[in-house]
Amino acid sequence: MRPVAIRLAALCLVLGCQEYEFDPLTPITFRQTVSTRKVVAKQFKPNVMLVVDRSQSMSFPMTNSPQTRWDALKSALARYLTDYGTVARMGLMTFPTGDACGAGSVVVDLWTQNDVPADLQGHAATINQRIQSTQPGGVTPTGDSLRQLASYSGLASGRENVILLVTDGLPNCNPNNPNSYDVDATACDCTFSAGQCGGQYTRLSCLDRQGTQTAVRELLAQGIKTAVVGIGTDMLGGTGPQVMNAIASEGGAARSCPGGTDAECGSNNRCETQTGVCEHRFYRAGDEQELAAALATIGYDLTKGERCVYQLEVAPSDANYLSVVVDGAAVPAGDQTWRYETGSVTFVGRLCERLANSTPDDPATVEFRVLDTL
């Protein structure tokens, strides 16, 4: 035995060395999850063209009220334009032009000068004055009216573009309708009064479902969405809801329920929780109150709020495992920067102001980096 080993053995005999057994250690692997958000809190105001049906049937009573559809519409739009006149740059098209099948025309152009709230509200008041002075007449050339907007210059500005279609009837008046009442009355599905289906109205009188869907689809391809509000008895059952659903489904602005609740879909409607879209994809109204509520929902959806609270995609097991980077610079947590609470980050002070004032020309970038173990 070598001298060193002999000395160690002797030392253990004197001190009484003990033996220890150690459990094997499992190596720890770390993973970092990075979530990047581009923040544009103050969007440019969207363009919203109100496309309003003024056909003769608008003088009929509402479904749940003796009030005429036109009077209910005038009252509800007055409230909408007063409460939400600043959420968008608005314009107005009414249809038909004249008291027959004339395609709609823009009677108040979209506001294009600026996004100043006072000016937007003033323009909304001009639209309301025009609506209040308009009277019903004619039939329902919905598809042809929407097609006019495909070449409307105001909807080609690069902003978000939305058509808000408010109608009480089934679309018709398409001279190019592939169906003809005189050839196949069943396929035609006449929407005119009895005795006015054939002859010179053999195609105009037919339901223009496909033509209107095509018009909405083509508008969406140009970046122009269509939201649909349906009023009157035609919206309660049968062909009416089917047609309005088809139009709304093609328009890219179907009524949604992101919270997964039926209440988000309005009365007599339900949420399809798997898709986050309501069963009736259009906004249906049986009286002035329901109509005002539908318009208010759309107005609220157009409102862009400030962004200072963010829900994390991956929550850290400990707040110390979270780091935040704003515009490429790491920012420590603090009373004047940000705080973490139960899966969300709240920005405060100047950082909140930076995010809340971000625009399409000056967006902010936020990164949430979460470190966890595997």
**Do residues 34 and 91 share a domain?**
no
| 156 falls within a domain | yes
Q: What is the rounded distance in angstroms from the CA atom of residue 56 to the CA atom of residue 139? A: 6
> Which two tokens mark 366?
């936020």
| 340 falls within a domain | yes
* Contact predicate 162/234, CB 8 Å: no
Q: What is the rounded distance in angstroms from the CA atom of residue 370 to the CA atom of residue 18? A: 44
* Contact predicate 120/46, CB 8 Å: no
Backbone angles phi, psi at 41, to 5 degrees: -75, -45
Q: At what angle do helices 209-221 and 239-250 cross, to 10 degrees?
A: 20
* Contact predicate 237/286, CB 8 Å: no
Backbone angles phi, psi at 317, to 5 degrees: -70, -20
pTM to 2 decimals? 0.73
Nearest to 197 by CA among 176, 178, 170, 172: 172
**Do residues 320 and 367 share a domain?**
yes
**Do residues 269 and 321 share a domain?**
no
**Do residues 255 and 128 share a domain?**
yes
**Do residues 241 and 287 share a domain?**
yes
**Do residues 212 and 109 share a domain?**
yes
* Contact predicate 366/325, CB 8 Å: yes
Backbone angles phi, psi at 200, to 5 degrees: -65, -15
For the chain, what is the domain count?
Answer: 2
**Do residues 128 and 167 share a domain?**
yes
Residue with tokens 């909408």: 80
| 21 falls within a domain | no
Residue where a domain terminates, one of 302, 318, 346: 302
pLDDT at residue 4, as a whole number: 47
CATH assignment of the domain containing 98: 3.40.50.410
**Do residues 258 and 319 share a domain?**
no
Q: What is the rounded distance in angstroms from the CA atom of residue 103 to the CA atom of residue 145? A: 5
Q: What is the rounded distance in angstroms from the CA atom of residue 166 to the CA atom of residue 48? A: 13
Cα angle 55, 61, 67 (rounded to 5 degrees) comes to 115
**Do residues 212 and 120 share a domain?**
yes
Cβ contacts of 40 within 8 Å, gap of 6 or more: 358, 359, 360, 363, 364
Q: Walk along the chain (374 residues) in steps of 10 and give the mean pLDDT of each run.
A: 50 53 57 64 80 96 91 95 92 96 97 93 98 96 97 86 93 96 96 92 96 96 93 86 93 87 88 89 90 85 63 80 91 90 82 80 87 68
* Contact predicate 94/52, CB 8 Å: yes
* Contact predicate 312/35, CB 8 Å: yes
Residue where a domain terminates, one of 302, 317, 332: 302
pLDDT at residue 95, as a whole number: 97
**Do residues 326 and 285 share a domain?**
no
Residue where a domain terminates, one of 302, 322, 341: 302
| 197 falls within a domain | no
**Do residues 226 and 164 share a domain?**
yes
Q: What is the rounded distance in angstroms from the CA atom of residue 85 to the CA atom of residue 40? A: 22
**Do residues 159 and 34 share a domain?**
no
Name the amino acid, one letter, at 276.
G
pLDDT at residue 312, as a whole number: 79
3-state SS, residue 276: coil
Q: Give residue 66's domain range.
A: 47-173+208-302
